[in-house]
A and B are shown apart, each in its own frame.
Chain A
Amino acid sequence: MSEATPKLNHHSMTRTQVVDAYFMEHRARLLDVAAFLDRIDRAGPGVDDFRMNAYRNAIALLLDGKPERTRRILEHFSDPSTTPIPAAHVKGATGAHDPIGKAH
């Protein structure tokens, strides 16, 4: 079994260059997240489904100060089971694991 190749051993951009290049784009995306949550609020009272529960919990991962946020958020949205399901009743995916299994 071979090992994954090592990281590229040079940083293509400095920290400041990364912020210069990407801040405006990601400021806009942050506002999109806020606007999405505001849109849900305006739609009226209700209870979050499993997707929005996972979404709000994922936002907390952004702010925990730990590295590899992308990997950890993807894992957070993932089905944690390890064996094949008996049968596939749908073809699509919802984007978040449904802990009570209604999405399957």
Chain B
Amino acid sequence: MYIDPHVHMVSRSTDDYVHMARAGCVAITEPAFWAGYDRSSPQGFFDYFRQLTESEPRRAAQYGIRHHTWLCINPKESEDPVFAREVIALIPEFLKKENVLGIGEIGLNKNSRNEMEILEAHLQLASDHNLLVLVHTPHLEDKLKGTLLILDAIRRFPKLDPGRVLIDHVEEHTAKHVLDQGFWCGMTLYPDTKCTPQRAVDIIETYGSERIWMNSAGDWGHSDPIAVPKAQMEMRRRGHLESLVRQVTFGNPQRFLSQSGRFSAEPLRPTAPDITR
């Protein structure tokens, strides 16, 4: 049994839901993401937020998987601050939806001034509404700098408790920065560009198993929606206790996400397809 706390299921097939359910996935959380192209209007985000809060939970439920989500405009679309603020203005009405856990995945992409302005606007929204925050850290050569800028930015919002903020996509050069400041951290298991399951387990062995989780971040690119059970296999291969495997792939995400008051990983009987839709 496991939770995948970061996966973009709107980009995945029903076969992926089947494989995830068979591998033991009982709950997922889906942060708002970049579609692979820039949306042409804020109305495009309105439709996307409806997909995340209405149709995707129904699709997941057909496979016995509980679906939760996070809302934002992704940093890859934050370079136009006027546009981005129009999207952020749409978010409050969706915060009433029962599967919305908080704001995410916000953060930085290329570490630009406009991206920082929109990150701070999101942090203000989360602070005002006392919401959990899921943070994307930049890719590859931009990750270390971006992570440090993000940690500094969050500290400028004293109402945001680090214990309610998860910094995602950490690797060996950023995990300690995140954990030392009291934040949670997520490791993304990607074939090429982030952590392999082996390196993720190395990081747990190096930095401990508190305030840390693993996710697939499966999306429309080269990614693996059943990466988390592969990391479970890697932990077992090394002789780690089953209690530790369960802690980092179920107990830890459940503990962090339950702070929202809306998260559930209780068993869900698969529902029939809704043929009226």
Using a CB–CB cutoff of 8 Å, the interface residues on chain A facing chain B are: 1-8, 12-13, 21-22, 68, 70-71, 74-75, 77-82, 84-88, 90-98, 104
Decide: B140 and A94 in contact? CB cutoff 8 A. yes
Given contacts A7-B205, A70-B172, A75-B173, contact A84 B149 (CB under 8 A): yes
- Contacting residues, chain B, for A82 (C-beta < 8 A): 145, 148-149
- Dominant secondary structure of chain B at its interface with chain A: helix
Interface-central residue, B111, B114, B149, by most chain A CB under 10 Å: B111
- Contacting residues, chain A, for B143 (C-beta < 8 A): 74, 78
Q: Is B53 an interface residue (CB 8 A)?
A: no
* 28 residue pairs bridging A and B, Cβ less than 8 Å apart: A1-B180, A1-B182, A5-B179, A5-B208, A6-B208, A7-B208, A8-B209, A12-B205, A12-B238, A13-B238, A68-B172, A71-B173, A75-B173, A78-B145, A79-B144, A84-B111, A84-B113, A87-B79, A88-B115, A91-B109, A91-B110, A92-B139, A93-B110, A93-B141, A93-B142, A96-B140, A97-B141, A98-B141
Decide: A86 and B208 in contact? CB cutoff 8 A. no
A-contact bits for B199-219, CB 8 A (1 contact / 0 none): 100101111111100000000
Decide: B209 and A5 in contact? CB cutoff 8 A. yes
- Contacting residues, chain A, for B34 (C-beta < 8 A): 91
- In the assembly, what is the distance between CA of A101 and CA of B144, in Å? 17
Closest to A26 in B: B198
- In the assembly, what is the distance between CA of A8 and CA of B207, in Å? 8
Decide: A7 and B110 in contact? CB cutoff 8 A. no
Q: Which of B140, B198, B207 contacts A77 (CB 8 A)?
A: B140
- In the assembly, what is the distance between CA of A4 and CA of B184, in Å? 10
Closest to B143 in A: A78
Q: Is B171 an interface residue (CB 8 A)?
A: yes
- In the assembly, what is the distance between CA of A27 and CA of B239, in Å? 23
Interface residue tally for chain B (C-beta within 8 Å): 47
Chain A proximity of B99: nearest CB distance (Å): 28
Number of CB contacts from chain A to chain B under 8 A: 115
Within 8 A of A (CB), among B227-264: 237-240, 244
- In the assembly, what is the distance between CA of A29 and CA of B202, in Å? 18
Closest to B144 in A: A78
Closest to B206 in A: A7
Within 8 A of A (CB), among B132-166: 138-145, 148-149
Decide: B176 and A81 in contact? CB cutoff 8 A. no
Closest to A97 in B: B141
| A-B contacts besides A78-B143, A84-B111, A96-B140, 12 pairs, CB < 8 Å | A2-B181, A12-B240, A21-B237, A71-B173, A74-B144, A79-B142, A88-B79, A91-B110, A92-B139, A93-B139, A95-B141, A97-B141
- Contacting residues, chain B, for A77 (C-beta < 8 A): 140-141
Decide: B79 and A93 in contact? CB cutoff 8 A. no
Decide: B207 and A85 in contact? CB cutoff 8 A. no
Closest to B113 in A: A84
Q: Which of B116, B171, B182, B199 contacts A2 (CB 8 A)?
A: B182
- In the assembly, what is the distance between CA of A11 and CA of B90, in Å? 50
- Contacting residues, chain B, for A4 (C-beta < 8 A): 175-176, 179-180, 207-208
Chain B proximity of A93: nearest CB distance (Å): 4
Q: Which of A22, A74, A86 contacts B112 (CB 8 A)?
A: A86
- Contacting residues, chain B, for A71 (C-beta < 8 A): 172-173
